[in-house]
Amino acid sequence: RKEVEQDPGPFNVPEGATVAFNCTYSNSASQSFFWYRQDCRKEPKLLMSVYSSGNEDGRFTAQLNRASQYISLLIRDSKLSDSATYLCVVSTGGGNKLTFGTGTQLKVEL
Amino acid sequence: EPEVTQTPSHQVTQMGQEVILRCVPISNHLYFYWYRQILGQKVEFLVSFYNNEISEKSEIFDDQFSVERPDGSNFTLKIRSTKLEDSAMYFCASKGELYNSPLHFGNGTRLTVT
């Protein structure tokens, strides 16, 4: 099983849609979880950390299920500017090594 | 907001040449990283650095690679003898002391080996 696994997509959705991305991780000892966003040929940028109780930041909601080793990201009312690749990032190897999933590509269309 | 800076933004080199990629992490961060991303592929961990030594490295980070923190601000990645397959985007990142601190990335250096 891969350390961090994501559906690569692409997800093509109309503007205003709600879209959900999932991510699974293999190391049950992982402690830190993040969602990053990457635009084409740019660096990854932190979208949000993922906390055990789940957390929300505007239109974005992140959930963590430790028992199933699963993280999700929900984007409500998607905008054209949300088009990007969304990267699931999980700490492995003692907490200071962060491993990236392959990313899920989102395309929001008119 | 403080940021990680990388130079150069683009480096073209011939196979077999040595390259040094430079990074200035965020000043109060303690953990430093290099990642690479081959075009169209995932972001891959290369190496982490803490307390003036390598704390972890991947199997990609072989004897051709080395890292250094020559002074209090710079963090460098050296590739001794570049291969065609080293062509990629190289990202430097840093993070704070807390275990759940996120990584902050620089803009990257695009390395092209010809």
B:27-56 residues touching chain A, CB 8 A cutoff: 31, 33, 35, 41-45, 48, 50, 55-56
The CA-CA-CA angle for residues A21, A23, A27, to 5°, reads 165
Residue B13 vs residue A7, higher pLDDT = B13
A41 touches chain B (CB under 8 A): yes
Tell me how far apart the alpha carbons of residues A87 and B45 are, in angstroms, rounded to a whole number: 14
Question: Residue A43: which of B41, B102, B106 has the nearest Cβ?
Answer: B106
Tell me how far apart the alpha carbons of residues B91 and B107 are, in angstroms, rounded to a whole number: 7
Question: What does the pLDDT read at residue B71?
Answer: 87
Average pLDDT over residues A81-100: 88
Using an 8 Å CB-CB cutoff, list chain A residues near B48: 96-97
Contact A97/B56, CB-based, under 8 Å? yes
Question: Residue B107: which of A38, A43, A103 has the nearest Cβ?
Answer: A43
For residue B69, the SS3 value is coil
- A52, pLDDT greater than 80: yes
Q: Give the model's confidence band at A97: pLDDT under 50 very low, under 70 low, under 90 confident, else very high.
A: confident
If you measure CA to CA, which chain B residue comes closest to A91? B100
Using an 8 Å CB-CB cutoff, list chain B residues near A38: 43
Distances (CA, A) of B11 to B7, B22, B40, B90, B109: 9, 11, 19, 11, 7
pLDDT tens digits, B56-75: 999 999 999 999 998 878 99
Contact A96/B31, CB-based, under 8 Å? yes
Question: What does the pLDDT read at residue B110?
Answer: 98
- B17, pLDDT greater than 80: yes
Percent of chain B, pLDDT > 70?
100
Tell me how far apart the alpha carbons of residues B25 and B106 are, in angstroms, rounded to a whole number: 8
Question: What does the pLDDT read at residue B45?
Answer: 95
Tell me how far apart the alpha carbons of residues A66 and A30 are, in angstroms, rounded to a whole number: 9
Question: What does the pLDDT read at residue A95?
Answer: 64
Contact B103/A98, CB-based, under 8 Å? yes
Q: Torsion angle, CA of B23/B26/B32/B33, rounded to 10 degrees? A: -60
Tell me how far apart the alpha carbons of residues A4 and A31 are, in angstroms, rounded to a whole number: 13
